[in-house]
Amino acid sequence: MTATSGHSASAWMINWSPGGERLASASEDGTVRVWRSGDGSLVHVLAGHDDGVWSATWSPDGRRLVSGGNDGRLCVWHAGTGKLLAQLEPGGGAIWATGWSPRGERFAAGSRDGRVRLFDAATARMCGALDGHAALVKDLVFSPCGRRLATSSDDRSIRVFDLASGETRLVLLGHEHMANTVDFTPDGRALVSCSHDRTVRCWDLATGRERWAVEAHDDDIDAARVSPDGRLVASCSHDRSVRLFAIESGARVGEIRGHSDEVEWVSWSPDGKRLATASTDAQGRIFDAKSGARLFLLEGRNFAVSTLRASARGDVAVVQDDRSVSVIRPAAGVARARAFGLHEQAIEDAAWSPRGDRLALASLDGSVSVLTDALAPLRRLALGCGAYAVDWSPDGAQLAIGRADGGVELRHAESGERLALHADHDSPVYAVAFRPGGGALASAARDGRVGLRSGSAFRALAGHEDMAVSLAWWPDGNRLASGSRDATIRLWDAAGAALGVLRGHRLTVWGLAVTPDGARLLSSSFDHDVRVWRGGALERVLAGHTRQVGALAALDAQSALSGSREGVCRLWDLATGASRVLRPHALPEAPR
pLDDT surpassing 50 at residue 4: no
Which DSSP letter does residue 429 get? E
Work out the average pLDDT over 316-333: 91
454, amino acid identity: S
For residue 147, which of 178, 101, 193 has the smallest C-alpha distance?
A: 101
- 37 or 103, greater pLDDT: 103
For residue 451, which of 398, 412, 492 has the smallest C-alpha distance?
A: 492
| Concatenated DSSP letters of 178-216 | -EEEEEE-TTSSEEEEEETTSEEEEEETTTTEEEEEEE-
Alpha-carbon dihedral angle through residues 319, 320, 323, 325, given to the nearest 10 degrees:
-40
Question: What's the CA gap between 399 and 29, in Å, rounded?
Answer: 50
Helix, strand, coil percentages in the chain from 3-state DSSP, rounded to 5: 0, 55, 45
Q: Give the pLDDT confidence score for residue 38 in this predicted structure.
A: 80
Task: Write down the CATH number for the domain with range 11-298.
Answer: 2.130.10.10
Cα of first residue to Cα of last residue in the chain, in angstroms, is 38
Average pLDDT, the chain: 92
- Tell me if the pTM is above 0.75: no
pLDDT band of residue 2 (cuts 50, 70, 90) is very low
Write phi, then psi, for 586 (nearest 5 degrees): -95, -5
Kindly report the CATH class assigned to 305-586.
Answer: mainly beta
Q: Give the pLDDT confidence score for residue 586 in this predicted structure.
A: 65
Task: Spell out where 323-428 has E strands.
Answer: 325-329, 334-339, 347-352, 358-363, 367-372, 377-382, 387-392, 398-403, 408-412, 418-422
305-586 has the same fold as 11-298: yes
Q: Give the pLDDT confidence score for residue 3 in this predicted structure.
A: 26
Evaluate the CA torsion angle 355, 356, 359, 360 in order and state its sign: positive
502, amino acid identity: L
Question: What's the CA gap between 125 and 51, in Å, rounded?
Answer: 23
pLDDT tens figures, 536-567: 999 999 998 888 899 999 999 999 999 998 78
pLDDT tens figures, 125-182: 999 999 999 999 999 999 999 999 999 999 999 999 999 999 999 999 999 999 999 9
Q: Give the pLDDT confidence score for residue 387 in this predicted structure.
A: 97
- 124 or 259, greater pLDDT: 124
For residue 489, which of 476, 473, 500 has the smallest C-alpha distance?
A: 500
Question: What's the CA gap between 349 and 208, in Å, rounded?
Answer: 58
pLDDT surpassing 60 at residue 92: yes
Domain residue extents for the chain: 11-298, 305-586
